[in-house]
Amino acid sequence: MIVRDLKRLALVVGPLLVLLLLSASLWHSHSDDIASHVGSLLGQGGKPEASSTRRPPTLTADEKHYEIYSMSTSDGKFFDIRFGIEVFNPNIIPHQTFNDTWYIVGQAFMDLKVDQADTTVHESGCIAQFLNGVLMCIDYVQHLPIEPTSGGNCTGDFAYISFNVGPHDARVFMGPQSPYIIYGSNSAFTCFGQFIQDFRKLVNWEYELMTPDDFAVGTEIERPAPYAPLEKNYFVFWDSKGDMLVHYDLYPKRGFGKLETNGTVGPDLAPKVKDHDDKCLKRYLPELPADHESIHQATNSMKVTLCNRADAGCEPHDGNTYIMTIAQHKTYYNYHSEYEPYVVLFQQRAPYELHAISRKPLWIHGRQRHEGRRTDMMYVTSANWRDRGVNYHGYLDDAVILGFGYEDKHSAGIDVLAADLLHDIGLCDSEES
């Protein structure tokens, strides 16, 4: 009788708890205490459906990729991310207080066929947990309160961008102490630039004080000339001294410099390592034809120490700790884009030369092949340490959670050990062919 009554009670209380959650504001973490327990009350524990064993990367049948498998799904496939509205190019960072809870943010889909008058774009997000194997909002999805910018520098073929205002293609990521967001918007220096802001100012991130060095408002990141009309996908990194630098180009040549809190950037430091880095890029990245293919940086950065956190002798130093990011080889044939992700490591101390690049691109388990050369388009936009408290610096046995857009309309993710991302990575200074 007790068990039967409890089941009946759960059927009533469970939906009521969900309604309570939905009545709370997305960005007010006073509701998080309830949110962190809703999964367990509904029988899910707030966690994904864990697989029984970790599957290490394997070569695909054509031996052109290393296939990676999710740690948090029973079949190893990627998991869906559901906002409740159409959102793509997702970002995932851990909640600051509760385990198995994340902030998810992405580009809200804008259908100009439905509303041609409103060309304002938005980055939207919520607090999320895993329910029935899906990472989904447990609160209202809301637009981030990012102020639109106006530059007036879009002319010719890019003139239309002046009317398409609001944040684009955001990257939300953890720094050593706090979270940040970088997004595209109309620029004061070129047509379309990159801006950075402290993510805590856009949500109710409690228990942490702001400092004068934080980007309390959206701040445009400058770069040494020349500017491209559309600047995209900058990422920042922190070196071994704790200095913050911005990396604005990877290919065909790198570009990066020291970032100041007013958005100015010091001189380009990449020429110091150009000869070394050009050889490494040419060695491991595919040679490109004249048209339809390109290589560009795609995600934020993380710091990784190449030993296991669980090992007593694992101590980080410049000889085993590197900045990690993901770059992508884009192809565009038959009006369809495809992306192949490569992991890139570079030194955390000056002069920040490249250290290693994936020998083969990654294949996310669950990606499908179709007739001809076409495969599912998956564009990796987010790479962060999965678990709360790791922040910017992790180890080989720490889990990474990747977010990616799926055919420019959907969101999905996968979580793997850092060691799996670095499987068979090619060292720049290796003598092997």
pLDDT at 53: 63
- Mean pLDDT score of the chain: 87
3-state helix, strand, coil in the chain (%, to 5): 15, 35, 50
- pTM equals 0.88
Domain range list for the chain: 2-48+57-427
Residue 284 above 50 pLDDT? Answer: yes
Which whole number is the average pLDDT over 84-90?
91
Cis bond before residue 48 (omega within 30° of 0): no
pLDDT for position 433: 55
Check pLDDT > 60 for residue 76.
yes
CA-closest candidate to residue 378, choices 402, 345, 399, 360: 402
Cα dist from 179 to 60, 214, 309, 320, 392, whole Å: 36, 10, 23, 25, 9
Instruction: Give the Cα separation of 256 and 233 in Å (integer).
Output: 13
**Residue 362 C-beta-side C-alpha neighbours within 13 Å:** 31
Residue 323 has a pLDDT of 98
Examine the pLDDT at 187 and tell me if it is beyond 80: yes
Q: What is the reported pLDDT for 372?
A: 72
CA-based nearest residue to 380, from 399, 395, 400: 400
- How does pLDDT run across 128-147, given as a tens digit for each residue? 999 999 999 999 999 999 99
SS3 274: helix
Q: Supply the pLDDT for residue 22.
A: 41
CA nearest 408: which of 109, 78, 91, 104? 109
pLDDT at position 39 over 50: no
Give the integer Cα–Cα distance in Å for 57 and 422: 10
Please give the class, per CATH, of domain 2-48+57-427: mainly beta
The average pLDDT across 289-314 equals 96
Identify the bridge partners of residue 340 per DSSP, sorted by sequence position: 329
Q: So what's the pLDDT on residue 208?
A: 67
Weakest-pLDDT range from 89-103, 156-170, 187-201, 411-425 = 156-170
Could you give the dihedral angle defined by the CA atoms of residues 172, 175, 178 and 179, in that order, rounded to the nearest 10 degrees? 0
- Cβ–Cβ under 8 Å, residues 304 and 394: yes
Least confident of 80-89, 102-111, 142-151, 276-285: 102-111
Q: Which pLDDT value is given to residue 43?
A: 39
Q: Which residue do the tokens 């795609």 mark?
A: 298
- What is the pLDDT, as a whole number, of residue 242? 96
Q: How many residues does the chain have?
A: 433
Report pLDDT for 229: 95
End-to-end, the C-alpha distance of the chain in Å comes to 71
- In a 3-state reduction of DSSP, which class is residue 260? coil
State residue 37's pLDDT score: 38
Helix (H) or strand (E) holding 383: strand 378-385
Top-ranked range on mean pLDDT: pick from 25-39, 155-169, 349-363? 349-363
pLDDT given at position 7: 41
